[in-house]
Structure formats: C-alpha cells, structure tokens
Amino acid sequence: MTVRQLVISHMNRVAEEQRLSLAPLTDDLVLLDCGLDSLGFAILAARLEDELGVDPFAAGASAGLPVTLGQFVQTYENAGR
C-alpha cells in the first residue's frame, strides 16, 4: 500500500467511526472541508504515526500544517523517506 492509499484508507475509517461523510478526496481538497473535524484529524495523525512510525507535525519537525489533502499526503510521503 502506498502512503497515499494508507492515508485515504485511514481517513475513510475515521469518518466511518465518527459517522461523518467525506467529500470526494482530491489533491486540491481543502482539508478543513473534507468532512473530518479536529478530533478526526487528531485520530488520523495518531494512527498514521503508528503505521509509519513518524509524526511529521510533531514539535521539532519541519512540516507546517497542511492546507490541502495533497499537501497532507505529501508531508507523510516526505517524512517517510
């Protein structure tokens, strides 16, 4: 599974658990419009950290908070390298 697929699959799972519906997941989708709330993102980040062994948004890491889904995915792709 690619990082992108992993991110998407976790987003779908969080949304399902939180009983939220997601907007069509395109690269230029603004994250805040995707349908997840801040708790949803928090859960998503925690699970991706477990899967990928990295929290690119942690204090000390260089990544700023992403605006779009594309940036969000890319941050994880970069961090994994």
Partner 1 sequence: MPAGDPLSLRETLGSGPIHAERILCGFEARVRFADLLNGSTLQAPLAELSGCSVLLRTKDHFATALALVQLDGAAERIVVAPSCLPPGHLPALIRDAEVDVLVTDSEEPEDFELARERRIRCSSTLVAVEKVPRARHRTEWLLLTSGTTGLPKMAVHDLAGLTGAIEGRTAYAPRLVWGTFYDIRRYGGLQIYLRALLGGGSLVLAGSGEPIPDFLKRLKARRVTHLSGTPSHWRRVLMTPLNDLPDLRYARLSGEIADQALLDSLKRNYPQAKIGHAYASTEAGVVFDVEDGLEGVPLDLIDKPHEGVEMKIVDGTLRVRSVRGALRYAGRDKPPLKDADGFVDTGDVLRLANGRYHFLGRKGGIVNVGGLKVHPEEVEAIINRHPKVRMSLVRARKNPFTGSVVVADVLLNDKAGASTRAKDMEKEILELCRNALPEHKVPAVIRFVTNLEVAHSGKLVRHYA
Query: Rounded to the nearest whole angstrom, what is the least distance from the CB of residue 48 to partner 1 in the complex?
Result: 10
Q: Are 54 and 81 in contact (CB under 8 A)?
A: no
Q: Which has the closest alpha carbon to 2: 72, 76, 69, 64?
A: 76
CB closer to partner 1, 6 vs 43: 43
Name the one residue in this structure whose structure tokens are 């792709």: 77
Query: Rounded to the nearest whole angstrom, what is the least distance from the CB of residue 63 to partner 1 in the complex?
Result: 9
Q: Could you tell me which residues are beta bridge partners of residue 30?
A: 68
The contact set with partner 1 (CB under 8 A) reads 17-18, 38-39, 41-43, 45-47, 50, 55, 57-59, 65
CB closer to partner 1, 39 vs 67: 39
